[in-house]
DNA sequence: ATATAAAAAGATAAAAATATCTTTTTATCT
DNA sequence: AGATAAAAAGATATTTTTATCTTTTTATAT
């Protein structure tokens, strides 16, 4: 459904949303240990997200990755879009070159709305909002 | 969302559902030409589906791939399951080792039902039923 | 029987995704 | 200023997916 890169990215971002701020930064190694993903691969992903201003970082001693308050206002769809792109949510399920209501494939009418609903769920809730349920223990991101 | 193999497979199967029967069989090359996919790759996929009794074939002269009446009663989920497996519809969106209502990740409650609905849409309609809309021109599988 | 035309099986190639390692740059502490 | 610890960038390796090509098996027509 999502690439591993996106999965790791989301988990990393949620970890940072929970634990980081401007004066509490984390190395990819530390994050990777907590969320159980390959550290150098996560590092690459966080670098990409940082380049696109979805994650913040500072170099040098006491540097690390963190989420600014602004970063926490983004939605998870921005993370997925940055890493995987939204193509898989917008293009035809069975690979026809155009996906449209006017010229639908046999599955379009049934599946396209569900696909759209998924995107909406990832869009209309900020990263910060996701942390509430995480803090209360209703949801989790650990192994 | 689906692998190319599944996409090609579904389109190939729908082509056969529309055009084939016990005495009208098609070579992968012919099918591939019509649905616009790489022929040898489609051949592999059809072979796999045949081995799993989702597509029928006969060797030798005047042989080819076709769908038996029984094959046409299958649902598309069987095709996807055979080629990709259903893991992507059943395992955690963000890659946690277990996906369950009891121990949900932050997206589970919102996305798992949509995922399930997708599987249902692919399950509760037979391949044959999909051909009605195709014949009437309401939907299409061509480029 | 033999030639033919097709799927099946197997081998190989190319591209993309995943994973790791090394070097460079940068900020901060002493 | 020099040492240090971190991200950033770059290079390399592995695995999976996608794609193609070749050989073998099989059914049928002649
Ligand atoms: S045309 Fe196939 S999903 Fe829209
Ligand atoms: S636990 Fe993540 S989708 Fe179910």
The per-residue pLDDT for range B6-34, each reduced to its tens digit, is 999 999 999 999 999 999 999 999 999 99
Flag if B76 and A108 touch (Cβ within 8 Å): no
The angle subtended at Cα B29 by Cα B24 and Cα B35, nearest 5°, is 85
**Which domains, from first to last, does chain A contain?**
4-136 (1.10.10.10)
List pLDDT tens digits, range B48-95: 999 999 999 999 999 999 999 999 999 999 999 999 999 999 999 999
Specify which residue's alpha carbon is closest to the C1' of nucleotide C21. Answer: A40
Residues of A in contact with B94 (CB under 8 A): 2, 7, 10-11, 141
Among residues A125, A43, A40, the alpha carbon closest in space to that of A77 is found at A125
Classify B33 as helix, strand or coil.
helix
**Whether the Cβ atoms of residue A57 and residue A65 lie closer than 8 Å to each other:** yes
List pLDDT tens digits, range B112-130: 999 999 999 999 999 999 9
Classify B74 as helix, strand or coil.
coil
Tokens coding B115? 């995922």
pLDDT (0 to 100) of residue B138: 97
Average per-residue pLDDT for chain A:
97
Classify B105 as helix, strand or coil.
coil
Distance C27 C1' – A13 CA (angstroms): 24
List pLDDT tens digits, range A47-103: 999 999 999 999 999 999 999 999 999 999 999 999 999 999 999 999 999 999 999
In angstroms, the separation between the Cα of residue A76 and the nearest Cα of chain B is: 10
pLDDT (0 to 100) of residue A114: 98
pLDDT (0 to 100) of residue B35: 96
pLDDT (0 to 100) of residue A110: 97
Give the ranges where B20-107 is alpha helix by DSSP (H). 28-35, 39-51, 69-72, 76-83, 87-90
In angstroms, the separation between the Cα of residue A60 and the nearest Cα of chain B is: 31
For residue A143, pLDDT beyond 90:
no
Reported confidence tier of residue A142, pLDDT bands at 50, 70, 90: confident
User: What's the CA gap between A106 and A33, in Å, rounded?
Assistant: 45
User: What's the CA gap between A82 and A52, in Å, rounded?
Assistant: 7
Average per-residue pLDDT for chain B:
97
pLDDT (0 to 100) of residue B143: 78
């Amino acid at each position: 459904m999502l690439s591993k890169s996106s999965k790791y990215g989301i988990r990393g971002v949620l970890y940072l949303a929970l634990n980081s701020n401007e004066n509490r930064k984390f190395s990819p190694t530390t994050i990777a240990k907590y969320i159980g993903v390959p550290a150098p691969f996560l590092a690459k992903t966080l670098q990409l997200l940082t380049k696109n201003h979805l994650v913040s970082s500072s170099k040098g001693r006491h540097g690390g990755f963190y989420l600014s308050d602004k970063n926490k206002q983004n939605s998870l769809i921005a993370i997925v879009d940055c890493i995987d792109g939204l193509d898989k949510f917008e293009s035809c399920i069975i690979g026809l070159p155009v996906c449209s209501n006017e010229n639908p494939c046999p599955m379009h009418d049934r599946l396209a709305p569900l696909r759209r609903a998924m995107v909406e769920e990832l869009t209309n809730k900020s990263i910060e909002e996701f942390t509430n349920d995480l803090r209360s223990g209703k949801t989790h991101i650990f192994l």
